[in-house]
């Protein structure tokens, strides 16, 4: 049984790979083209969707501070989406300790990831709206024969 060599990929490489998948390329085709496992692309895509580009730079293994509910599990109800948004840190405070700066940076990354997630949701909703507008337009449009409905009978009586 051969053991694979664990490679590390740059954040730029991961970002380009995720962008290919997000732009509609088949995940399996991108994985074959780049020479990475599909599982890695799924993980990178999930990290990108949860935390944006900063999620691609994370190290493996358990993180200090324990687990926190993020992503879709944190705001599964549409009515609770606004209350689940991360709070914006107060940037007017003059006393900046190293821990505070890290916390602010983390909150900023979470806020940016939330913004990116909401922008993706809006994009999907816009596609749905465009689809339904076109469907309604086609239903309301007169038929080519001048508005008369066509008969489905194949023979005349």
pLDDT at 84 over 50: no
CA angle 103, 108, 113 (to 5 degrees): 125
For residue range 104-127, what is the model confidence (pLDDT) as tens digits?
999 999 999 999 999 999 999 999
The pLDDT, as a whole number, for residue 66 is: 57
Q: Of 48, 62, 47, which Cα lies nearest the Cα of 19?
A: 48
pLDDT at 75 over 50: no
* DSSP state letters, 15-37: HHHHHHHHTT--HHHHHHHHT--
The pLDDT, as a whole number, for residue 152 is: 64
**3-class secondary structure for 89-147?**
CCCCCCCCCHHHHHHHHHHHHHHHHHHHHHHHHHHHHHHHHHHHHHHHHHHHCCCCCCC
**pTM for the whole thing?**
0.38
Q: Are 40 and 13 in contact (CB under 8 A)?
A: no
- Of 148 and 106, which is predicted with more confidence? 106
pLDDT at 20 over 60: yes
For residue range 33-68, what is the model confidence (pLDDT) as tens digits?
999 999 999 999 998 888 888 888 876 666 666 555
The pLDDT, as a whole number, for residue 76 is: 44
Please tell me the distance from the alpha carbon of residue 75 to that of residue 133, in angstroms, as a whole number.
29
pLDDT at 89 over 60: no
* DSSP state letters, 49-101: HHHGGGGGGPPSSPPTT-----GGGTT-SGGGTTTTSPPPP-TT-----HHHH
Q: What is the dihedral angle through the alpha carbons of 70, 71, 74, 79, rounded to the nearest 10 degrees?
A: 150
């Amino acid at each position: 049984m051969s053991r694979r060599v664990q490679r590390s990929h740059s954040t730029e490489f991961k970002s380009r790979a995720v962008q290919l998948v997000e732009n509609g390329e088949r995940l399996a085709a991108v994985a074959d083209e780049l020479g990475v496992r599909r599982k890695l692309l799924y993980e990178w895509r999930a990290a990108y969707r949860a935390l944006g580009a900063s999620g691609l730079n994370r190290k493996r293994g358990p993180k200090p501070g324990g687990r926190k509910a993020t992503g879709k599990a944190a705001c599964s109800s549409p009515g609770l989406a606004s209350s689940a948004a991360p709070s914006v840190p107060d940037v007017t405070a003059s006393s900046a300790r190293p821990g505070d700066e890290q916390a602010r940076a983390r909150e900023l990354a979470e806020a940016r990831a939330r913004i990116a997630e909401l922008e993706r949701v809006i994009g999907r909703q816009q596609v749905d709206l465009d689809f339904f507008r076109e469907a309604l337009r086609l239903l309301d449009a007169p038929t080519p024969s001048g508005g008369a409905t066509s008969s489905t009978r194949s023979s005349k009586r």
